[in-house]
Structure formats: C-alpha cells, structure tokens
Amino acid sequence: MSSSINQDFTAKGLLKFAMPSIIMMVFMSCYTIVDGIFVSRFVGSNALSSLNIVYPVEGLVVAVATMLSTGGNAIISNYLGQGKPKESRAFMTQFVVLGLLFSVLIMAIVFIFLTPICRALGSTDALLSDAQIYLKILILFAPACMLQTFFQCFFVTAGKPHLGLFLMIGAGILNAVLDYVLIVPLHMGIGGAALATGIGQTLPAVVGIIFFFTRSTELYFTPFKFNLKIIGEACYNGSSEMVSQLSNSIVTFLFNIILIRLAGSAGVAAISILLYGQFLFNAFYLGLSIGVSPVIGFQYGAVQKSRLRKTYKIIMMFTCISSVVIVSLSLICSRPIVSVFTKDPDTFRLAADGFRIFAINFLFSGINIISSGIFTALSNGKISAILSFSRTLFFLVICLFTFPYFLGITGVWLAVPAAEFLTLILSGRMHWKYFLQKNESTYF
C-alpha cells in the first residue's frame, strides 16, 4: 500500500490518483440528484419539496460519517507514514464500529419521532405524507449510508481507489435503474425513490465489509479496543468536514423555511434544484480532497517537505483553473440544467432565474473546500474547522437572515455566493500564513 502513496507525484499522476475519489463523490451526490429528477418529473413538484424537507436527517448521518472517515483517515495515513500499520488497522476498525452504532441510534430516533421530526423540518400538511414515506424508508439504510462514506476514504488509503470507483459507478447505475422501475412502471412514488437510494448505498457497503475482512492489503479489520483519545482526535480533525456536511442540512432547513414564506412550495422545489447543482460541484472538490488527503498525510508524517510543497501547488493550480471552467459552463447552461428537473412553469422560472446568480459561488467554493481539506490532511483540525464553519454556516446564516430582508428572493440566491466570497478572503489569509510566507509556522 505504501508504495502507492509514497511517491513523487507529477501533476498528471496526482490527478489520476485522485480521480477515482472524485468520481466516487460525484456518483454519490447523484443519488439525491437522480431521485430528484424522477420524483419531480413523475411524481410532482410537491414530492420534490417533501424530499428536500427531510434531507437534513440524511445529512446528519453523512456529516458524522464524513467526520469520522476524513478525520480518522488523516490519522490512519499518518501512522502508515510512520511505519505503524498495526495501529492503523485497529483505528480503522474502531471508527467503522463507532459509525455503525451512531447510525442505528439515528434510525431508532427517527422511527419513534417520525411525524414531529417532519413537522419540525418545515413540512406543511400538503407535504407531510410524502415526507414521512421518504424518510422512514431511507433511514432504514442509515448503516449502509454510513459504511459507504467510510469506505470511500479507506479504499484510497488501502491503495485501492479504483475499487471504490467501480463500486460507486455500479451503485449509481443501480440507483438510477431502480428509480425508473420503482417510480414509473411500479408506481411506488416517492417511496420508490427512497428504496432505490438505499439499495444503491448497500452495494458499496457490503462489498467494503467483505474487502476489509480479506486482509488483501495493509489495512483490514482487526480486534480493537476503543481509544477515546484517538476518537477525540479524529472528531476534532474531521470536524471541518462534518461542519460542512451538517451545515448543508441546517442551511437547507433555513432555505426551506424562508422560501416557503416567499414563494410557497414552488420556491422549495426551486432551491432543491439549485442545491442539487451545488451538491454536484462540491462533491467534485470533496472527492479531490479525499483523493489527495492520504498523500498529504503520508508526506507530512514522513517529513517529505519538498514533495508536500509540490503536491500543494498542483492541487491549488488545478482547483483555480477548474473552478473558472465550471462556473462558466454553469452560467451558460443554466436553463437546460433546470429543465432536466422540472416541467412546472413556476418552479422553472424561479430556478432558472436563481441559478444564474447562485452559480457565481462556484468560483470561490472549490478553493475553500480544498483549503479546508488540506488542513485536515495536515492534522490541523482547528484551521480546517474555522474555514468550513465560516463558509457553510457563519457567513451563510448571516447572509440568509439579512439579504432576503432587503432584496427579497434575489437575496436568497445571492446569500451563498456572498458567503463563499467572504470565506475566500479568510482562506487566503490562512494560505499566506501557513504555506506562502517563509517562517517557522509554515508547513514547508
């Protein structure tokens, strides 16, 4: 395994190494997006709104899984760089077991308090039934969702990124096929969408369990004892990624509440479409972050400063160039993108107008996501958490509570670009302090 991340990467080699993780995350984001397309076009805009209403619950599961997997993966790769594979194996096993226990707890809470949870998330009488159906089916697969997120990281560190890629492609195709079969011919409605997503998540989860029991690489499941210190370090180190994911749930809730007031269910459906675009974009850079994180962690643990500097330059150059390309394509293709999701004229008008403003955030958010991911890989959870908290919650909540008051619905679309730009200023300051200027606080 070590030979796959212990090398002097060229730009092409590093991006090739990270590409499976990028594609994995994009396919994972496509679960929700594909559900949204089929639900909106074959069930209706109200059903799409219901799906978005209960998203924060799944977002909570993904947030905790992301925290333990990314924070734990930095520790695991660091220990591998120090030549301590036995400890790495034990740590990986405890993170997986801890994640499973949490997912079962969430499942129990949702079943006991299903209706109050849906109401608290903003479900109206018109949306309540669909929201309940989708959530109670989807939450049955919370352990699979948790494991899928873990194995995306651990496959890369085990030197098998392509296995994760193939599994995610297979799961994405399976999800899309089942969405069609269960929603269109079998008329299962929004419940069919939830079932398709859950079954798709189960495929990489089951294969991952089998793989890490086979001992085919340096990383595999072993007996362990819970190490509270390491768990705390993983939670602290991965807190930025958790904040990013959890903030998606909080912000989705705020968007829903604000847009229900300003534009009704069509407004909720419109923001659902815009957030799908953001899911896909952010998944691209989160995948890049996951893909390069083991390399950065290994180089940092092995004190390979020249390689670390080179890796940093490649990642930042690629992020800047690709962000410009993606935002340009988003602005040009805004109407065709929205038309994929909805045939409802009110929803289309709101989403098409909003997307041209909302898409500006893609120019800044890629750099912010990668910046946070780099600090996580360097085991600097404090800076990583500050950046993630700023972009996904602090600045965004301030913008959401102020912009719509003065600008109405245009203020809703402007909130995310403004928050990302403010975070970019903060990210630039951290890059200057830790990477660019020459003093004792820099990493290389």
**Cα 158-162-168 angle, rounded to 5 deg:** 105
Q: Is 215 helix (H, G, I), strand (E, B) or coil?
A: coil
pLDDT at 46: 80
What's at 269, amino acid-wise? A
Is 61:146 a contact under the CB 8 Å cutoff?
yes
Domain ranges of the chain: 6-436
CA distance 142 to 380: 29
Helix axes 11-42, 45-53, angle to 10 degrees: 130
pLDDT at 6: 74
CA distance 321 to 35: 31
Low-confidence ranges of the chain (pLDDT < 70): 1-4, 31-32, 240-241, 244, 440-441
CA distance 151 to 288: 15
pLDDT at 31: 67
Is 50:268 a contact under the CB 8 Å cutoff?
no
Residue of 227, 242, 208 lying closest to 91 (CA atoms): 227
pLDDT at 2: 43
The reported pTM is: 0.73
pLDDT at 305: 86
pLDDT at 244: 66
CA distance 92 to 64: 15
pLDDT at 427: 94
Please report, for residues 58, 107, 222, 283, 320, the alpha-carbon distance to residue 156 in angstroms, rounded to integers and kept in the order given: 24, 28, 19, 16, 24
